[in-house]
Amino acid sequence: MHSPPDQHSSTGAFSHEFVVGETTIDENGHVNNVVYVQWMQDVAILHSADCGGTAATHALGCSWIVRNHQIDYLAPAFAGEGVIAITWVVDFRKVRSLRKYAFLRKRDNKVLARGQTEWVFVDQSSGRPRPIPREVSCLYPLLPDYRP
């Protein structure tokens, strides 16, 4: 993902623009479905670093791990196309957080895919889930009804 600077929309969602690379294209001539999982993780990491969530999480000796991903593929993406990846946090529960994503083709804002990931907050030393502290959750605006 190479792009211009990341942005927060007026809604609080985080966006990251990039150009689809040749190495992401499969034998069908479009972006391979597993690439979207990588993009979901990449934009989540960028968002967390940008808002201070990564630093706060690491300072507590914690990390986030994926419990599950869900993706709906709506239109193909091709090499050389500009894509806008948008992510936002829907909620925080005791040890889990739901984050959603939308991938839009830049030239016409066509939604290429939508997805979501359930993340679990874990203690790095034990590997066990840990309650999400306020000093982490307060860094992310919650957008339960947002839909680009």
Q: 66-79: per-residue pLDDT in tens?
A: 999 999 999 999 99
145 within some domain: no
Instruction: Produce one character per residue of 72-85: b if its CB has 16 or more CB atoms within 10 Å, e if not.
Output: eeeeebeeebebbb
The rounded percent of the chain whose pLDDT value lies above 70 is: 93
142 within some domain: no
Question: Apex CA 64: angle with CA 86 and CA 135, to 5°?
Answer: 85
146 within some domain: no
Residue 12 belongs to domain spanning: 7-137
pTM: 0.92
Number of domains the chain is built from = 1
- Strand 62-73 and strand 111-123: the pairing is antiparallel
Q: 5-40: per-residue pLDDT in tens?
A: 456 555 789 999 999 999 999 999 999 999 999 999
122 within some domain: yes
The rounded percent of the chain whose pLDDT value lies above 90 is: 92
Q: How confident is the model at residue 2 (pLDDT cuts 50, 70, 90)?
A: very low
CA dihedral defined by 5, 145, 90, 52, rounded to 10 degrees? 30
Find tokens 């957008």 and name the residue.
143
143 within some domain: no
120 within some domain: yes
Which CATH number goes with the domain that contains 59? 3.10.129.10
82 within some domain: yes
144 within some domain: no
How many residues can be counted in the chain?
Answer: 148
For residue 136, which phi and psi values (nearest 5 degrees)?
-95, -50
